[in-house]
Amino acid sequence: MLELEVVPERSVGNERWEFTLGMPFAQAVAILQKQCHLIKNVQVWYSDQTSTSCRPGVPFTAEFRNAQVSPVSSDLVLTLTQDGIKLLFDPYSQRLKIIEVYNLSKVKLKYCGVHFNSPTIPPTIEQIDQSFGATHPGVYNSAEQLFHLNFRGLSFSFQLDTGYEAPKFAPHYAHGLASLQIPNGATVEKMYIYTGNSLQDTRAPLMPLSCFGGNVYAESVDVLRDSSGPTGLRFKLQTTGCGPVMRAETKLQAFDRCVRFGDHCQEVSSALGCPHKVFYKSEDKMKIHSASPHKQVPSKCNDYFYNYFTLGVDILFDAASHQVKKFVLHTNYPGHYNFNIYHRCDFRIPISSRFDSSDLQKEPFVITAYTKWDSVQEVLPHPMEHPVVLNRSSSANNTNPFGSTFCYGFQRMIFEVMANGHIASVTLYWPRAVGGVRHNDA
Protein backbone atom coordinates (compact mmCIF):
# COMPACT_ATOMS: atom_id res chain seq x y z
CA MET A 1 0.00 0.00 0.00
CA LEU A 2 1.36 3.42 -1.00
CA GLU A 3 2.00 5.95 1.76
CA LEU A 4 1.80 9.48 0.38
CA GLU A 5 2.07 13.05 1.65
CA VAL A 6 -0.69 15.45 0.53
CA VAL A 7 0.27 19.06 -0.26
CA PRO A 8 -2.87 21.11 -1.10
CA GLU A 9 -2.71 23.01 -4.40
CA ARG A 10 0.55 21.29 -5.25
CA SER A 11 1.20 17.53 -5.12
CA VAL A 12 0.91 14.05 -3.66
CA GLY A 13 3.97 11.83 -3.22
CA ASN A 14 6.75 10.76 -0.90
CA GLU A 15 10.45 11.50 -0.34
CA ARG A 16 11.45 9.62 -3.52
CA TRP A 17 8.89 10.87 -6.05
CA GLU A 18 5.75 12.98 -6.33
CA PHE A 19 3.00 13.83 -8.79
CA THR A 20 3.05 17.63 -9.04
CA LEU A 21 0.30 19.77 -10.54
CA GLY A 22 1.54 21.20 -13.84
CA MET A 23 3.97 18.36 -14.56
CA PRO A 24 3.97 17.02 -18.15
CA PHE A 25 2.26 13.72 -18.94
CA ALA A 26 5.57 12.11 -19.95
CA GLN A 27 7.11 12.82 -16.54
CA ALA A 28 4.22 11.15 -14.74
CA VAL A 29 4.60 8.09 -16.97
CA ALA A 30 8.35 8.06 -16.27
CA ILE A 31 7.61 7.91 -12.52
CA LEU A 32 5.21 5.02 -13.05
CA GLN A 33 7.79 3.16 -15.12
CA LYS A 34 10.42 3.52 -12.41
CA GLN A 35 7.97 2.48 -9.68
CA CYS A 36 6.54 -0.49 -11.59
CA HIS A 37 7.50 -2.83 -8.72
CA LEU A 38 5.06 -0.90 -6.47
CA ILE A 39 2.50 0.50 -8.92
CA LYS A 40 1.53 -2.49 -11.01
CA ASN A 41 -1.66 -1.65 -12.89
CA VAL A 42 -2.14 1.61 -14.79
CA GLN A 43 -4.91 2.46 -17.23
CA VAL A 44 -4.57 5.31 -19.72
CA TRP A 45 -7.91 6.85 -20.70
CA TYR A 46 -8.16 9.23 -23.62
CA SER A 47 -10.71 10.45 -26.15
CA ASP A 48 -10.50 9.44 -29.78
CA GLN A 49 -12.66 8.64 -32.80
CA THR A 50 -11.09 5.28 -33.57
CA SER A 51 -11.41 1.84 -32.03
CA THR A 52 -9.92 0.76 -28.72
CA SER A 53 -6.18 0.26 -28.94
CA CYS A 54 -3.29 -0.77 -26.70
CA ARG A 55 0.17 0.80 -26.79
CA PRO A 56 2.90 -1.87 -26.84
CA GLY A 57 6.30 -1.74 -25.22
CA VAL A 58 5.58 -0.10 -21.85
CA PRO A 59 7.06 -1.81 -18.79
CA PHE A 60 3.86 -1.62 -16.72
CA THR A 61 0.42 -3.06 -17.39
CA ALA A 62 -1.56 -0.43 -19.27
CA GLU A 63 -4.90 -0.39 -21.04
CA PHE A 64 -5.76 2.35 -23.52
CA ARG A 65 -9.50 3.03 -23.59
CA ASN A 66 -11.35 5.65 -25.57
CA ALA A 67 -14.72 7.15 -26.46
CA GLN A 68 -16.24 8.37 -29.70
CA VAL A 69 -15.28 12.03 -29.22
CA SER A 70 -12.43 14.39 -30.12
CA PRO A 71 -8.96 13.84 -28.53
CA VAL A 72 -9.11 17.33 -26.99
CA SER A 73 -12.71 17.18 -25.76
CA SER A 74 -11.91 15.55 -22.43
CA ASP A 75 -8.97 15.10 -20.09
CA LEU A 76 -6.17 12.60 -20.59
CA VAL A 77 -6.28 10.32 -17.54
CA LEU A 78 -3.80 7.99 -15.84
CA THR A 79 -5.63 5.65 -13.44
CA LEU A 80 -3.68 3.72 -10.81
CA THR A 81 -6.34 1.03 -10.34
CA GLN A 82 -4.66 -0.84 -7.47
CA ASP A 83 -3.96 2.39 -5.57
CA GLY A 84 -7.25 4.26 -6.09
CA ILE A 85 -5.66 7.32 -7.74
CA LYS A 86 -6.48 9.21 -10.95
CA LEU A 87 -4.21 11.80 -12.58
CA LEU A 88 -6.16 14.11 -14.91
CA PHE A 89 -4.17 15.99 -17.56
CA ASP A 90 -5.35 18.94 -19.62
CA PRO A 91 -5.90 17.65 -23.20
CA TYR A 92 -4.27 20.72 -24.79
CA SER A 93 -1.19 21.38 -22.68
CA GLN A 94 -0.94 17.74 -21.45
CA ARG A 95 0.02 19.02 -17.98
CA LEU A 96 -1.37 17.60 -14.74
CA LYS A 97 -4.56 19.45 -13.77
CA ILE A 98 -6.24 17.42 -11.01
CA ILE A 99 -5.12 14.64 -8.66
CA GLU A 100 -8.09 12.52 -7.58
CA VAL A 101 -8.01 9.84 -4.89
CA TYR A 102 -11.21 7.93 -5.63
CA ASN A 103 -10.69 5.00 -3.21
CA LEU A 104 -9.07 6.00 0.07
CA SER A 105 -9.05 2.42 1.36
CA LYS A 106 -6.22 1.56 -1.06
CA VAL A 107 -3.73 4.21 0.05
CA LYS A 108 -2.31 5.79 3.21
CA LEU A 109 -2.42 9.60 3.29
CA LYS A 110 -0.85 12.14 5.60
CA TYR A 111 -0.72 15.91 5.89
CA CYS A 112 2.23 17.73 7.49
CA GLY A 113 3.65 14.35 8.46
CA VAL A 114 0.52 13.19 10.34
CA HIS A 115 -1.77 10.47 8.96
CA PHE A 116 -5.41 11.36 8.35
CA ASN A 117 -6.21 8.23 6.35
CA SER A 118 -4.93 4.69 6.94
CA PRO A 119 -6.31 1.23 7.79
CA THR A 120 -6.40 2.29 11.47
CA ILE A 121 -7.44 5.96 10.93
CA PRO A 122 -10.70 6.31 8.96
CA PRO A 123 -11.02 9.67 7.16
CA THR A 124 -14.16 10.84 8.96
CA ILE A 125 -15.32 14.44 8.91
CA GLU A 126 -14.05 14.82 12.48
CA GLN A 127 -10.62 13.55 11.38
CA ILE A 128 -10.54 15.94 8.40
CA ASP A 129 -11.50 18.84 10.66
CA GLN A 130 -8.79 17.87 13.13
CA SER A 131 -6.09 17.49 10.44
CA PHE A 132 -6.85 20.45 8.19
CA GLY A 133 -8.58 22.94 10.48
CA ALA A 134 -11.46 25.34 9.85
CA THR A 135 -13.02 25.68 6.42
CA HIS A 136 -15.97 27.33 4.71
CA PRO A 137 -19.40 25.71 5.09
CA GLY A 138 -19.75 22.67 2.88
CA VAL A 139 -22.06 22.11 -0.08
CA TYR A 140 -24.48 19.23 -0.50
CA ASN A 141 -25.18 17.81 -3.98
CA SER A 142 -28.54 16.06 -3.79
CA ALA A 143 -28.17 14.43 -7.22
CA GLU A 144 -24.90 12.74 -6.26
CA GLN A 145 -25.84 12.46 -2.55
CA LEU A 146 -22.35 13.76 -1.82
CA PHE A 147 -21.36 16.40 0.68
CA HIS A 148 -18.38 18.49 -0.54
CA LEU A 149 -16.00 20.08 1.93
CA ASN A 150 -13.65 22.55 0.21
CA PHE A 151 -10.32 24.03 1.20
CA ARG A 152 -8.13 26.07 -1.14
CA GLY A 153 -6.65 23.58 -3.61
CA LEU A 154 -8.20 20.61 -1.78
CA SER A 155 -11.70 19.09 -1.67
CA PHE A 156 -13.25 16.13 0.15
CA SER A 157 -16.47 14.38 -0.85
CA PHE A 158 -18.48 12.49 1.78
CA GLN A 159 -20.98 9.81 0.82
CA LEU A 160 -24.28 10.08 2.73
CA ASP A 161 -26.81 7.32 3.20
CA THR A 162 -30.14 7.58 1.40
CA GLY A 163 -31.99 7.41 4.71
CA TYR A 164 -31.02 10.94 5.69
CA GLU A 165 -33.11 13.88 4.58
CA ALA A 166 -31.48 16.06 1.95
CA PRO A 167 -32.73 19.42 3.35
CA LYS A 168 -30.48 18.97 6.35
CA PHE A 169 -27.50 19.34 4.05
CA ALA A 170 -28.78 22.04 1.70
CA PRO A 171 -26.35 24.99 1.33
CA HIS A 172 -28.60 27.50 3.11
CA TYR A 173 -28.69 25.23 6.16
CA ALA A 174 -24.91 24.82 6.29
CA HIS A 175 -23.60 27.21 8.94
CA GLY A 176 -20.51 25.34 10.06
CA LEU A 177 -19.38 21.79 10.64
CA ALA A 178 -21.24 21.42 13.93
CA SER A 179 -24.64 22.25 12.36
CA LEU A 180 -24.36 19.83 9.44
CA GLN A 181 -25.70 16.82 11.35
CA ILE A 182 -23.56 14.46 9.29
CA PRO A 183 -23.88 10.93 10.71
CA ASN A 184 -21.11 9.75 12.97
CA GLY A 185 -18.55 7.70 11.07
CA ALA A 186 -19.33 9.15 7.61
CA THR A 187 -16.02 8.86 5.74
CA VAL A 188 -14.45 10.53 2.76
CA GLU A 189 -15.50 9.05 -0.57
CA LYS A 190 -13.08 11.05 -2.77
CA MET A 191 -10.32 13.63 -2.42
CA TYR A 192 -9.19 16.15 -5.05
CA ILE A 193 -6.01 18.24 -5.26
CA TYR A 194 -6.06 21.18 -7.70
CA THR A 195 -5.07 24.85 -8.00
CA GLY A 196 -7.31 27.73 -6.98
CA ASN A 197 -10.55 27.89 -5.01
CA SER A 198 -12.86 25.92 -7.30
CA LEU A 199 -12.53 22.38 -8.59
CA GLN A 200 -14.95 23.13 -11.44
CA ASP A 201 -12.98 26.16 -12.64
CA THR A 202 -9.45 24.86 -12.09
CA ARG A 203 -6.89 24.76 -14.90
CA ALA A 204 -3.54 23.09 -15.29
CA PRO A 205 -0.90 25.46 -13.86
CA LEU A 206 2.34 26.34 -15.58
CA MET A 207 5.02 23.71 -15.33
CA PRO A 208 6.76 23.98 -11.92
CA LEU A 209 10.45 24.81 -11.89
CA SER A 210 11.15 21.48 -10.21
CA CYS A 211 9.91 19.66 -13.34
CA PHE A 212 12.39 21.23 -15.77
CA GLY A 213 15.32 19.10 -14.60
CA GLY A 214 17.85 21.05 -16.68
CA ASN A 215 15.89 20.50 -19.91
CA VAL A 216 14.75 23.12 -22.41
CA TYR A 217 11.04 23.23 -23.30
CA ALA A 218 9.31 24.98 -26.17
CA GLU A 219 6.45 27.30 -25.26
CA SER A 220 5.69 27.73 -28.97
CA VAL A 221 7.27 27.10 -32.38
CA ASP A 222 6.61 29.37 -35.38
CA VAL A 223 7.31 28.13 -38.90
CA LEU A 224 9.19 30.77 -40.93
CA ARG A 225 8.12 30.99 -44.58
CA ASP A 226 8.77 32.71 -47.85
CA SER A 227 6.62 32.70 -51.00
CA SER A 228 7.54 29.11 -51.89
CA GLY A 229 7.46 27.37 -48.53
CA PRO A 230 9.05 27.05 -45.08
CA THR A 231 12.56 28.34 -44.42
CA GLY A 232 13.06 27.41 -40.77
CA LEU A 233 11.69 27.51 -37.22
CA ARG A 234 11.54 30.19 -34.54
CA PHE A 235 11.50 28.66 -31.04
CA LYS A 236 10.19 30.39 -27.93
CA LEU A 237 12.08 28.44 -25.27
CA GLN A 238 12.03 28.11 -21.48
CA THR A 239 14.55 26.58 -19.09
CA THR A 240 15.85 26.86 -15.54
CA GLY A 241 19.49 26.46 -16.51
CA CYS A 242 21.88 23.53 -16.57
CA GLY A 243 21.76 20.53 -14.28
CA PRO A 244 18.90 18.48 -12.86
CA VAL A 245 19.14 19.95 -9.33
CA MET A 246 17.00 23.02 -8.54
CA ARG A 247 18.67 25.60 -6.29
CA ALA A 248 17.11 28.33 -4.20
CA GLU A 249 18.16 30.99 -6.71
CA THR A 250 16.79 29.08 -9.69
CA LYS A 251 14.62 31.22 -11.96
CA LEU A 252 12.76 30.61 -15.19
CA GLN A 253 14.66 31.80 -18.25
CA ALA A 254 12.84 32.57 -21.50
CA PHE A 255 14.54 33.24 -24.84
CA ASP A 256 14.02 32.94 -28.60
CA ARG A 257 16.11 30.95 -31.06
CA CYS A 258 15.89 30.45 -34.83
CA VAL A 259 17.06 27.42 -36.80
CA ARG A 260 16.92 27.47 -40.59
CA PHE A 261 17.46 25.09 -43.45
CA GLY A 262 21.16 24.93 -44.30
CA ASP A 263 22.35 25.55 -40.73
CA HIS A 264 25.19 23.27 -39.68
CA CYS A 265 24.89 20.88 -36.75
CA GLN A 266 27.20 23.07 -34.64
CA GLU A 267 24.88 26.05 -35.15
CA VAL A 268 21.85 23.99 -34.14
CA SER A 269 23.56 22.71 -30.99
CA SER A 270 24.56 26.27 -30.11
CA ALA A 271 20.96 27.48 -30.52
CA LEU A 272 19.01 24.62 -28.94
CA GLY A 273 21.58 22.76 -26.86
CA CYS A 274 22.64 19.15 -27.20
CA PRO A 275 19.95 16.79 -28.51
CA HIS A 276 18.49 14.12 -26.25
CA LYS A 277 19.44 11.50 -28.83
CA VAL A 278 21.11 11.18 -32.23
CA PHE A 279 19.49 8.72 -34.61
CA TYR A 280 21.13 7.54 -37.86
CA LYS A 281 18.82 6.59 -40.71
CA SER A 282 19.22 3.01 -41.91
CA GLU A 283 16.87 3.16 -44.90
CA ASP A 284 14.45 5.54 -46.55
CA LYS A 285 11.14 3.84 -47.34
CA MET A 286 9.79 7.05 -48.92
CA LYS A 287 12.41 7.26 -51.69
CA ILE A 288 10.12 5.32 -54.05
CA HIS A 289 7.96 8.47 -54.21
CA SER A 290 10.85 10.70 -55.37
CA ALA A 291 11.23 11.79 -58.99
CA SER A 292 14.04 9.35 -59.92
CA PRO A 293 14.52 6.76 -57.17
CA HIS A 294 16.55 4.44 -59.42
CA LYS A 295 19.12 7.18 -60.09
CA GLN A 296 19.94 7.80 -56.45
CA VAL A 297 23.49 6.76 -55.60
CA PRO A 298 23.84 4.86 -52.29
CA SER A 299 25.76 6.86 -49.72
CA LYS A 300 28.64 5.49 -47.69
CA CYS A 301 27.32 7.32 -44.61
CA ASN A 302 23.81 7.88 -43.34
CA ASP A 303 21.84 11.04 -42.69
CA TYR A 304 21.14 11.57 -39.00
CA PHE A 305 18.49 13.12 -36.80
CA TYR A 306 18.89 15.30 -33.73
CA ASN A 307 15.96 14.25 -31.51
CA TYR A 308 14.73 17.00 -29.16
CA PHE A 309 12.04 15.17 -27.20
CA THR A 310 11.07 18.05 -24.87
CA LEU A 311 10.70 20.38 -27.86
CA GLY A 312 8.64 17.86 -29.86
CA VAL A 313 11.01 18.30 -32.82
CA ASP A 314 13.38 16.17 -34.90
CA ILE A 315 16.00 17.81 -37.13
CA LEU A 316 17.53 15.85 -40.03
CA PHE A 317 21.08 16.60 -41.20
CA ASP A 318 22.70 15.65 -44.48
CA ALA A 319 25.46 13.09 -43.90
CA ALA A 320 27.93 14.81 -46.25
CA SER A 321 27.44 18.51 -45.54
CA HIS A 322 26.04 18.28 -41.97
CA GLN A 323 23.41 20.87 -42.87
CA VAL A 324 19.74 20.91 -41.85
CA LYS A 325 17.52 19.55 -44.59
CA LYS A 326 14.36 18.51 -42.74
CA PHE A 327 12.30 19.33 -39.63
CA VAL A 328 9.68 17.02 -38.10
CA LEU A 329 7.11 18.52 -35.67
CA HIS A 330 5.17 16.12 -33.40
CA THR A 331 1.72 16.75 -31.89
CA ASN A 332 1.82 13.79 -29.44
CA TYR A 333 -1.82 12.73 -29.73
CA PRO A 334 -2.86 9.57 -27.87
CA GLY A 335 -3.73 6.86 -30.34
CA HIS A 336 -0.67 7.54 -32.47
CA TYR A 337 2.24 5.10 -32.66
CA ASN A 338 4.76 7.65 -31.32
CA PHE A 339 2.58 8.83 -28.43
CA ASN A 340 4.53 9.82 -25.29
CA ILE A 341 7.92 9.75 -27.02
CA TYR A 342 7.82 13.51 -27.69
CA HIS A 343 6.24 16.42 -25.87
CA ARG A 344 3.64 18.23 -27.94
CA CYS A 345 5.11 20.81 -30.32
CA ASP A 346 2.77 23.81 -30.15
CA PHE A 347 3.50 25.03 -33.68
CA ARG A 348 1.98 27.73 -35.88
CA ILE A 349 2.18 27.40 -39.67
CA PRO A 350 0.79 30.25 -41.82
CA ILE A 351 -0.39 29.20 -45.28
CA SER A 352 -1.95 31.04 -48.19
CA SER A 353 -5.67 30.36 -48.40
CA ARG A 354 -8.13 30.48 -51.29
CA PHE A 355 -9.03 34.05 -52.14
CA ASP A 356 -10.19 36.21 -54.98
CA SER A 357 -9.20 39.76 -55.90
CA SER A 358 -11.48 41.20 -53.19
CA ASP A 359 -9.73 39.23 -50.39
CA LEU A 360 -6.12 40.31 -50.89
CA GLN A 361 -5.94 41.83 -47.40
CA LYS A 362 -7.03 38.68 -45.57
CA GLU A 363 -4.75 37.26 -42.91
CA PRO A 364 -3.12 33.92 -43.79
CA PHE A 365 -4.71 30.77 -42.42
CA VAL A 366 -2.68 29.44 -39.46
CA ILE A 367 -2.36 25.71 -38.88
CA THR A 368 -1.75 24.68 -35.27
CA ALA A 369 -1.31 21.37 -33.48
CA TYR A 370 -5.09 21.37 -32.83
CA THR A 371 -6.29 22.13 -36.38
CA LYS A 372 -8.20 19.29 -38.01
CA TRP A 373 -7.22 18.31 -41.53
CA ASP A 374 -10.70 19.00 -42.94
CA SER A 375 -10.26 22.67 -42.01
CA VAL A 376 -6.89 22.78 -43.79
CA GLN A 377 -8.29 21.28 -47.00
CA GLU A 378 -11.04 23.89 -47.13
CA VAL A 379 -8.56 26.76 -47.45
CA LEU A 380 -5.95 25.18 -49.72
CA PRO A 381 -5.50 27.03 -53.05
CA HIS A 382 -5.82 23.79 -55.02
CA PRO A 383 -7.40 20.34 -54.50
CA MET A 384 -5.30 17.74 -52.69
CA GLU A 385 -3.99 14.63 -54.42
CA HIS A 386 -4.51 11.15 -53.00
CA PRO A 387 -2.53 10.61 -49.78
CA VAL A 388 0.35 8.23 -49.19
CA VAL A 389 -0.50 5.53 -46.63
CA LEU A 390 2.04 5.24 -43.82
CA ASN A 391 2.02 2.11 -41.64
CA ARG A 392 4.55 2.09 -38.82
CA SER A 393 5.36 -1.19 -37.14
CA SER A 394 7.48 -2.50 -34.31
CA SER A 395 10.78 -4.08 -35.28
CA ALA A 396 10.17 -6.76 -32.65
CA ASN A 397 6.77 -8.11 -33.75
CA ASN A 398 5.95 -6.11 -36.88
CA THR A 399 2.63 -4.90 -35.45
CA ASN A 400 0.94 -1.53 -35.06
CA PRO A 401 -2.31 -1.60 -33.04
CA PHE A 402 -3.10 2.03 -33.92
CA GLY A 403 -3.44 1.49 -37.67
CA SER A 404 -2.17 3.46 -40.64
CA THR A 405 -1.95 7.22 -41.08
CA PHE A 406 -2.21 9.31 -44.25
CA CYS A 407 0.41 11.74 -45.59
CA TYR A 408 -0.54 14.81 -47.63
CA GLY A 409 2.06 17.12 -49.19
CA PHE A 410 1.95 20.73 -50.33
CA GLN A 411 4.23 23.79 -50.21
CA ARG A 412 7.26 21.70 -49.12
CA MET A 413 5.36 20.30 -46.13
CA ILE A 414 4.07 16.80 -45.43
CA PHE A 415 1.17 16.45 -43.01
CA GLU A 416 0.67 13.08 -41.35
CA VAL A 417 -3.04 12.76 -40.51
CA MET A 418 -4.63 10.26 -38.14
CA ALA A 419 -7.90 8.44 -38.82
CA ASN A 420 -9.75 10.91 -36.57
CA GLY A 421 -8.65 13.84 -38.74
CA HIS A 422 -6.07 15.32 -36.36
CA ILE A 423 -2.51 16.05 -37.48
CA ALA A 424 0.04 13.62 -35.99
CA SER A 425 3.18 15.28 -37.36
CA VAL A 426 4.38 17.83 -39.90
CA THR A 427 7.56 17.37 -41.94
CA LEU A 428 9.21 20.45 -43.45
CA TYR A 429 11.86 19.80 -46.11
CA TRP A 430 14.43 21.76 -48.12
CA PRO A 431 14.44 21.31 -51.92
CA ARG A 432 17.85 22.85 -52.50
CA ALA A 433 21.00 20.90 -53.23
CA VAL A 434 22.85 19.73 -50.13
CA GLY A 435 26.24 18.09 -50.45
CA GLY A 436 25.92 17.86 -54.24
CA VAL A 437 22.61 15.95 -54.17
CA ARG A 438 19.20 17.47 -54.82
CA HIS A 439 16.68 16.22 -52.24
CA ASN A 440 13.20 15.45 -53.49
CA ASP A 441 12.66 12.44 -51.22
CA ALA A 442 10.62 14.13 -48.48
Residue 205 lies in a domain: no
pLDDT digits (tens, 9 = 90+) for 359-379: 545 678 999 999 999 999 988
Residue 181 lies in a domain: yes
Last residue of a domain, one of 160, 193, 226: 193
* 133 and 233 housed in the same domain: no
* 296 and 184 housed in the same domain: no
Last residue of a domain, one of 136, 160, 193: 193
What residues are paired with 425 via a beta bridge?
A: 330, 416
* 245 and 166 housed in the same domain: no
Output the average pLDDT for the chain.
83
The pLDDT assigned to 228 comes to: 83
pLDDT digits (tens, 9 = 90+) for 86-96: 999 999 999 99
The pLDDT assigned to 380 comes to: 82
Higher pLDDT, 379 or 355: 379
* 219 and 367 housed in the same domain: yes
* 117 and 41 housed in the same domain: yes
The pLDDT assigned to 53 comes to: 37
The pLDDT assigned to 186 comes to: 72
Higher pLDDT, 396 or 431: 431
Going by pLDDT thresholds of 50, 70 and 90, the confidence category of residue 395 is: low
| Mean pLDDT for the stretch of residues 69-80 | 86
Higher pLDDT, 438 or 272: 272
The pLDDT assigned to 84 comes to: 96
Distance CA 422, CA 372 (A): 5
| Mean pLDDT for the stretch of residues 255-264 | 97
* 159 and 238 housed in the same domain: no
Residue-number span of the structural domain to which 427 is assigned: 212-438
pLDDT digits (tens, 9 = 90+) for 103-158: 999 999 999 999 999 999 999 888 888 899 866 677 777 777 788 888 999 999 98
* 185 and 216 housed in the same domain: no
* 189 and 282 housed in the same domain: no
* 258 and 172 housed in the same domain: no
The pLDDT assigned to 351 comes to: 87
Higher pLDDT, 81 or 67: 81
pLDDT digits (tens, 9 = 90+) for 43-64: 999 886 543 333 433 333 444 4
Residue 330 lies in a domain: yes
What's the per-residue H, E or C state across the chain?
A: CEEEEEECCCEEECCCCEEECCCEHHHHHHHHHHCCCCCCEEEEECCECCCCCCCCCCCCEEEEECCECCCCCCCEEEEECCCCEEEEECCCCCEEEEEEECCHHHEEEEECCEEEEECCECCEHHHHHHHHCCCCCCEEECCCCEEEEEECCEEEEEECCCCCCHHHHCHHHCCCHHHCCCCCCCEEEEEEECCCCCCCCCCCCCCCHHHCCCCCEEEEEEEEECCCCEEEEEEEEEECCCCCCCCCCCCCEEEEEEEECCCEHHHHHHHHCCCCEEEECCCCCCHHHCCCHHHCCCCCCCCEEEEECCCCEEEEECCCCCEEEEEEEECCCCCCCCCCCCCCCCEEEEECCCCCHHHCCCCCEEEECCCEHHHHHHHCCCCCCCCEEECCCCCCCCCCCCCCEEEEEECCEEEEECCCCEEEEEEEECCCEECCEECCCC
Residue 204 lies in a domain: no
Residue 154 lies in a domain: yes
pLDDT digits (tens, 9 = 90+) for 276-325: 999 998 765 555 555 555 555 555 688 999 999 999 999 999 999 999 99
Residue 52 lies in a domain: yes
* 244 and 181 housed in the same domain: no
* 179 and 249 housed in the same domain: no
Residue 198 lies in a domain: no
Top mean pLDDT of 187-201, 264-278, 362-376, 392-406 is at 264-278
Last residue of a domain, one of 193, 225, 252: 193
Domain count, the chain: 2
* 174 and 323 housed in the same domain: no
The pLDDT assigned to 375 comes to: 92
Could you tell me what percent of the chain has a pLDDT over 90? 57
pLDDT digits (tens, 9 = 90+) for 190-243: 999 999 988 989 999 999 999 998 899 999 999 999 888 899 999 999 999 776
Residue 199 lies in a domain: no
The pLDDT assigned to 407 comes to: 94
| Mean pLDDT for the stretch of residues 387-413 | 82
